[in-house]
Amino acid sequence: MKKQGFVFSLEASLSLIFLVGILLVQIPAQEKDLHELAVFQKENDLLKIWAKQRNFSLEEMKKDFEFAFPDVSGEISVNMQRISAGNPRSKKSVKAIASETVFFGADLESTIISVSVFE
Amino acid sequence: MSTTKSLNAKGFVFSLDAGIAFTIAIGVLFLALFAMEQSTKESIISEKNFELWKNTVFLADAIVKNNSPEQSVLGSAVFDSEKQRVKSNEIDLQLLEKASEIENKEFELKKISLVFRDANRVFFERHTDKKNCLAVERIVLVQGKIARLVLEGCN
């Protein structure tokens, strides 16, 4: 007990650990925006326009996709026939925003069309 | 003799570790208050940003889905008089040309334009001192041609 030096009590040690713990905690930045809704709306716009034009050529649809989403990559499918579209050198995607719809033609034949944007 | 007396006397005696613990406690309190202040500031900025997103996205949605001859910023879609319905995502150019600013204290419409494959056309533009701006795009048909409707708002 007569030795000189720092002696931390249990309380002081716990306080120190608590302080270090607080300093290490990183509060994740919360981004509140409607970016995903905006992308979803654009996808739905494309689907509506394709429905109005009644032209389900994948090449034409690919051109429309690249016009609508110039900087991203994505995928279009018509009756399970898939095609990649967009900029393949866009940043690495971690999620996809997708929309799908079913069109019925004059003879009630169905066409399933989906469009996905990779982000 | 006097040293023994002073050690035996009652009163506040702070040891080194108690002093450090107290300093740490004050430090933690300071950090907590600082974090709360930062969090509040971020929250205010975030709310303002969300408000801008909301106004811009909803206004762009209104333009492509509604037909409003009195205030074309609230609806410039083609109206099919035969079927008595609005053709959403089809833009009436004559109506969009009448676009004028909307009155809102917390939101300013900065620009409305159409981007075609081969040309751009601006329908409304005004100068604003507000720095926080956002552009939202919608895909529309204009006289059979596909175009991007770009709406820019600020707050």
Q: Using H for helix, E for strand and C for coil, what is the string for B35-57?
A: HHHHHHHHHHHHHHHHHHHHHHH
Indicate the number of domains in chain B.
1
Q: Do A41 and B61 touch (CB under 8 A)?
A: yes
Provide the pLDDT for residue A46: 93
**Residue range B127-143, pLDDT digits in tens:** 888 889 999 999 999 99
Q: What is the nearest CA distance from B101 to chain A, expressed in angstroms?
A: 22
Residue B92 inside a domain? The answer is no
- Among candidates B31, B88, B139 on the partner chain, residue whose Cβ is nearest the Cβ of A46: B139
Residue of B nearest to A41 (CA): B138
Query: Which residue do the tokens 């709406």 mark?
Result: B151
Residue B107 structural domain: 16-64+100-154
Domain residue spans of chain A: 35-118
Q: Do B89 and A45 touch (CB under 8 A)?
A: yes
**Residue range A56-67, pLDDT digits in tens:** 888 899 999 999
- Among candidates A7, A19, A48 on the partner chain, residue whose Cβ is nearest the Cβ of B24: A19
Whether the model pTM is above 0.80: no
* Check: complex ipTM more than 0.90: no
- CB of B91 within 8 A of CB of B64? yes
Higher pLDDT residue, A79 or A2? A79
Residue B94 inside a domain? The answer is no
**Residue range B80-129, pLDDT digits in tens:** 999 999 999 999 999 999 888 887 788 899 999 999 999 999 999 988 88
